[in-house]
Structures are given as C-alpha cells and as structure tokens.
Amino acid sequence: MAAGKNILLIISGGIAAYKVLEVIRRLRDREINIRAILTKGGEQFVTPLSVAALTENKVYQDLFSLTDEAEMGHIRLSREADLVLVAPASADILAKMATGQAGDLATTALLATNKPVMIAPAMNVEMWNHPATQANIATLESRGVIRVGPSAGDLACGETGSGRLAEPAEIIANVLDFLDGQSAPKPLAGKKAVVTSGPTHEPIDPVRYIANRSSGKQGHAIAQALCNAGADVTLVSGPVSLPDPAGVKVVRIETAREMLAAVKNALPADIAICAAAVADWRTADEAGQKLKKDGSGVIPDLRLSENPDILATISKAGASRPGLVIGFAAETEKVTEHARAKRARKGCDWILANDVAPETGTFGGDQNEIFLISGDDATTDEHWSRQSKTGIAEVLCARIIRHFS
C-alpha cells in the first residue's frame, strides 16, 4: 500500500504550479509523506508557506544552507524518498536533468538520487514541440524516468496544444500506481533475459572498421523495460554513447564474435532479444598496421568473411535455447515479407520488423514503428504505430508478459 511511503516533490517554475497544491493535499490524505524542494522559478507561483502547510514539512530551497545541510542534506533528501516527483517539470529543469546539471538544490538532488523519478511536464506548446525538448524527453525516458502528460488543450499563454500539466487526478493515479506496484510482485520476476543492442565494429585495420548506423536506443530501452518489469537482464552492447539502463548488467563488446560469446555466456535465459544491428561481414584479413595510400592509385583488396549469425545460433541452441527468442528485421523494402522469411530462416519465435530507409529516421532516431511477425502468415501480424522507442519497448514488454502468463 502507498500509505507510509515517502515522496520528494520538486516544484519548478510555471503557472501550473498551483495545481500541485491539490496533488499534495490528496496524497497527504492517503498518509503519504512528502518533502518538497521549491525552485526559484517555483517560488514565483506558489509560496513556501503554502507548500509547508500542506506537506506538514519544512520546504527546502537553498543548496548552500548550512542549517538545512545539518538537518537534512541534499543527499539524504534524494535518497530517503521512494519516488522523486517533478511537477510541474518546466522545459528548463528537463534540459538540466538531461544534461546532468547541478546548479541548485533541485538539480543537485535529482543528479544525486538513486531512486525512481517521475516528471509531469508543463510548458508552452512550441516549447514542448521543440526538437531540443523532445530530445531531452527521449534521453530521460531512456534512463527510466517516468512521464505523466502533458495534456493538450488551452494553455495559460493563450495558445492551444500540448503542454498542459496533467490534471491532479492523473498525476495522483500514476503516483499511487507506482507506489502500490513497488510492493506488488512484478510480472517478470524470476525471469532471466538477455538483450543485444547497438552496432558491432569489425576492424579493417587499427583505425578503420565496418559498422552501421545503429544507435542502440531501441535495444537499451527494451532492456530497461524488462528490468522495470522485474526480469534479471543482461544487456550485451556494441559501441554506443548511451547511459547504461538502471539495474541492468551491461557487457560491452566490439565485434560480432565477441557479442556471440557474451550472449552464450549469459545463457541459459528465459528470454533472448536480438535488437543489435550486427555487421553481416568482417574483413577476412585484418591489417596489423594502418593501411596507407602509397601514391600508386592501387586500392587495397578487402576480402570479406561472414560473421556468425547470433539470432540463428540462439534459436537452435538445443537445451539452452531460451523459451522466447525474438529478433529484429531492419528492412528498407517489403518489410513484412522479408521479416517473415527471416523468421522462418532463423528459427526464432518472433521477429520485430521495422523500416530503416533513410527517410524514416529510424536508425539513430528516437522513434520507431514495428510489425510483430509471430506466425507463418499475416493473420497473426501486429502493427505497433510510430512512437518513441521507449514506448515500443513498453509495448513489447507487455506483449512478453502476456506470452508468459
């Protein structure tokens, strides 16, 4: 039950801050303990006195207050909560969270916390739709931050569109669902999963390699979703610039052969998801020194060898084969046709097919559109509409939970 749980509430600047007073009141009615940090922007819309009266706790504002640090330092504030709730979450604080800034008490507590974080964004529609804000949201969601809203409608600035703070009832429902879920058994508890992610780099010489445009965003999001659902997850990742998913064991590799070895080492498992874009070929003879132009105009002859097929190997692993093996088919044409043929060829249970033609922006982007191929004909296909890669990961996780239940 949520009663007796602890929330650290961070109130940032925005006209919608007044709605958070109702959130505080109704959570306190449920005997949830709340400590609040009020940013300088938040102070312009609600007073410390009103927040203190409703939380029945001191309101924290100053990072460098020696009295506060003696009584309740920012580390303790960030660590003694079951949930950190940022509401309203302005565009400014979202940007600071995404880039790891720590210039005030709120951002320092957010950077120092090891607890789940939930955000309720609120801002002007153009600010919300701006690519910088959407990139920040994608970054935060890839790290496991939970988002509530924003809603669409009339905004305080007189414009209409997305950017309204979610209604207090919606924020409260999400908080309660999260806190109640902490004490409930998670649906994939006891299951072991191995996920591959990112590209592989196949050396040509000490400075050059064969690779592809995979960012690893989808594979990392899947690993995080499975972990959130209670699975014991090992993520085998090629070279990416993404943060490690929280709570996930990460094994870093460079080549396809290293990835296969790491996956085999992670078996047995109940679930295997091959989301990595593994290079199909490697050079047959890797040069020990950098290949140089000698002025003759002769181009080096690069002979290629086929890399091991990780998905097919796992699918045919005999006694150690996971109960559910899922592959990806990155296609540029005839997406479902090629994916269906790949499923039959590899021997896996499901194929997630996506269109990675350059105009889709899928490779390296923040969104994806999926066709789930789970049978021999189109009658069992599922279409998951274009959405964030985090959203796709959550849909897949729910589908896996349904499969095992």
294 is in an annotated binding site: no
Least Cα distance to 87 among 145, 160, 156, 1 occurs for 145
Which residue among 157, 227, 274, 397 is the active-site one?
Answer: 157
Q: Where on the phi/psi map is residue 112: left (φ > 0), alpha (ψ -120 to 50), or beta?
A: alpha
Angle between helices 217-228 and 131-142 (to 10 degrees): 50
Structure tokens at 41: 């922007």
311 is in an annotated binding site: yes
d(CA 209, CA 203): 4
Is 274 designated active site? no
290 is in an annotated binding site: yes
Q: What is the enclosing helix (H) or strand (E) of 291?
A: none
> What sign results for the dihedral spanned by CA atoms 270, 275, 276, 278?
positive
342 is in an annotated binding site: yes
| Neighbouring C-beta atoms of residue 289, cutoff 10 Å | 8
Q: Which residues contact 364 (CB under 8 A, 6 or more apart)?
A: 213, 214, 215, 217
264 is in an annotated binding site: no
389 is in an annotated binding site: no
310 is in an annotated binding site: yes
Q: Are 198 and 239 in contact (CB under 8 A)?
A: yes
Give DSSP secondary structure letters for 93-157.
Answer: HHHHHHHT--SSHHHHHHHH--S-EEEEE---HHHHHSHHHHHHHHHHHHTT-EE---EEEE-TT
Show binding-site residues: 280, 290, 308-311, 328, 342, 346
Show binding-site residues for CTP: 280, 290, 308-311, 328, 342, 346
The residues annotated as belonging to the active site are 157
